Amino acid sequence: MSRNYFIAGNWKMHKTRAEAAALAKELVAALKDGRHKYLVAPSFTALETVAAVVKGSNILLGAQNCAAEEEGAHTGEVSVLQLKDLGVQSVILGHSERRHLYKEDDGLVNRKVRLALKHGFDVILCVGELLEEREAGKAEAVCRRQTVEGLKGVSAADLQRVTIAYEPVWAIGTGKTATPEDADAIHAYIRKVIAEAFCPAAAENIVIQYGGSVKPDNAAALMAKENIDGALVGGASLKADAFVPIAKF
Ligand code: PGA
């Protein structure tokens, strides 16, 4: 497999600047000999602080969201221009908390994806079904729609800067992990969707992370699956002693 493992930590709405800096310092030291690709995504308020800590390390800096416009009258939003100014390299978009708590639809997520790519960022596009959608047999259809709509208008060249994170909503923060087999099946399906929407080579190369209650004791079994190329980690990314073993699985 030519794809590199990519382990990302989504710190969500946690940590003051001092706490974020302390965790980032621990990770820089612990992962300097790590063999995979790494990213941390602190809150907007801690980005500048963490940028200074991870500079020159093998840990990339991500934001958890961005606005769909470059600038203007958008109270409470943060622009790609402002993120670039802070040294952010990557943006997580379409996270289930954005989709379900803040009602972001596929069209809005797609505008953000295209704007972030236009400004040179890497993108982690999150997709995943709700429990009721899984129980109704709609998991594949939901992931197809979120993938196709989220990537509408993205060129094959820009797709090389996109990672997909499959995060079944029922597994996020619940302690319920999809089995490696179930996750791998959806990853394979998403790869098929990418092959149809772009081309087989793009599907072969795209990195697809799994997210949803990834922990030190289940990471290796998930990563062993053919189509699982990394993890987007929430709760277990908040402490070095949980994130480092996942990052070094
Ligand atoms: P979790 O969150 O690891 O706490 O389940 C994953 C995510 O939301 O990215």
Please calculate the CA angle 146-151-152 and round it to the nearest 5 degrees: 105
HSE-up of residue 102 (Cα within 13 Å, Cβ side): 13
Q: Considering its fold, how many domains does the chain have in total?
A: 1
Residue 217 in any domain: the answer is yes
Residues facing 231 on adjacent strands: 7, 210
CA of 153 to the centre of ligand 1 (A): 28
CA of 211 to the centre of ligand 1 (A): 6
Residue 19 in any domain: the answer is yes
Residue type at position 4? N
Residue 214 in any domain: the answer is yes
- Counting from 1 in the atom list of ligand 1, the atom nearest the Cα of 10 is 9
CATH number of the domain that residue 61 is part of: 3.20.20.70
pLDDT by 10-residue block (mean), the chain, 249 residues? 91 98 98 98 98 98 98 98 98 98 98 98 98 96 98 98 97 90 98 98 98 97 98 98 98
What is the extent of the structural domain holding 207? 6-247
Residue 184 in any domain: the answer is yes
Strands (E), 186-226: 207-211
For 74, the 3-state DSSP assignment is coil
97 noted as active-site residue: no
Ligand 1 site residues (CB inside 6 A) read: 10, 167, 172-173, 211-214, 232-236
- Counting from 1 in the atom list of ligand 1, the atom nearest the Cα of 213 is 5
> Of all protein residues, whose CA lies closest to atom 7 belonging to ligand 1?
234
CA of 73 to the centre of ligand 1 (A): 31
Residue 1 in any domain: the answer is no
Cα 155 to Cα 124, 151, 158, 162, 248, distances in angstroms: 16, 9, 5, 11, 33
Residue 115 in any domain: the answer is yes
167 noted as active-site residue: yes
Marked catalytic residue, from 95, 104, 129, 133: 95
Predicted pLDDT of residue 1 = 52
For 88, the 3-state DSSP assignment is coil
> Of all protein residues, whose CA lies closest to atom 3 belonging to ligand 1?
234
66 touches 124 (CB < 8 A): no
Residue 75 in any domain: the answer is yes
Residue 160 in any domain: the answer is yes
pTM, 2 dp: 0.98
